[in-house]
Amino acid sequence: MAQLAGFFIANLCGMVIVMLGIQFYNDVLPVFTQEDSFIKKDYIVVTKKVSTLGSIAGKSGTFSSYEVDDLKSQPFTVEVGAFQPAQFKVSAGISFGGMDLSTAMFLESVPDNFVDVKADAWRYTEGQKEIPIIIPRNYLNLYNFGFARSRNLPQLSEGMVGLVSLNLYLSGNGMRDVKKGRIVGFSNRLNTILVPEAFMRSANASYGGNKAWEPSRLIIEVDNPADERIAEYFSDNGYETEDNKLDAGKITWFLKLAVGVVMTVGLVISLLSFYILLLSIYLLLQKNTDKLENLILMGYSTQSVAKPYQILTVVMNFSVLLLSVIVLLFVREIYMDALSDIISAESEGNMMCACFCGVLLFVLVSVYNVIAIRKKINSIM
Burial 341-378 (b: 16+ CB within 10 A, else e): eebeeeeebebeebbebbeebbeebbeebbebbbebbe
The pLDDT tens digits for 60-89 are: 678 888 888 999 999 888 889 888 888 888
The pLDDT tens digits for 289-323 are: 777 777 777 777 777 777 887 888 888 888 888 99
**Residue 99 pLDDT level (bands cut at 50, 70, 90):** low
Residues β-bridged to residue 218: 46, 82
Q: pLDDT exceeding 90 applies to what percent of the chain?
A: 1
The pLDDT value recorded for residue 185 is 79
Residues 318-342 have a mean pLDDT of: 81
Mean pLDDT of the chain: 77
The Cα-based distances of 284 to 2, 317, 375 in angstroms read 12, 18, 14
CA–CA gap between residue 368 and residue 376 (Å, rounded): 12
CA–CA gap between residue 41 and residue 78 (Å, rounded): 12
Lowest mean pLDDT among 57-61, 113-117, 141-145, 348-352: 57-61
CA–CA gap between residue 1 and residue 139 (Å, rounded): 65
Q: Which helix (H) or strand (E) holds 355?
A: helix 352-380
Q: Please determine, for residue 133, whether its predicted confidence score (pLDDT) is greater than 80.
A: yes
Backbone angles phi, psi at 356, to 5 degrees: -60, -45
Q: Please determine, for residue 58, whether its predicted confidence score (pLDDT) is greater than 60.
A: no
The secondary structure of the chain in percent helix, strand, coil, rounded to multiples of 5, reads: 55, 20, 25
Q: Please determine, for residue 35, whether its predicted confidence score (pLDDT) is greater than 50.
A: no
**DSSP secondary structure string for all residues of 105-173:** E--EE--GGGB-S-TTTT---TT-SEEEEEEEHHHHHHIIIIIHHHTTPPP--HHHHHHPEEEEEEEET
The pLDDT tens digits for 172-212 are: 888 888 888 888 877 766 778 888 888 888 888 888 877 77
The pLDDT value recorded for residue 310 is 82
Backbone angles phi, psi at 365, to 5 degrees: -65, -45
Q: pLDDT exceeding 70 applies to what percent of the chain?
A: 81
Residues 95-99 have a mean pLDDT of: 61
Between residues 188 and 56, which one has the greater pLDDT? Answer: 188
CA–CA gap between residue 42 and residue 50 (Å, rounded): 25
**DSSP secondary structure string for all residues of 40-94:** -SSEEEEEE---HHHHHTT--SS--HHHHHHHHTSTTEEEEEEPEEPSSEEEEEE
**Residue 57 pLDDT level (bands cut at 50, 70, 90):** very low
Full-model pTM:
0.54
The pLDDT value recorded for residue 96 is 60
Helix (H, G, I), strand (E, B) or coil at 219: strand
Residue type, 17: I
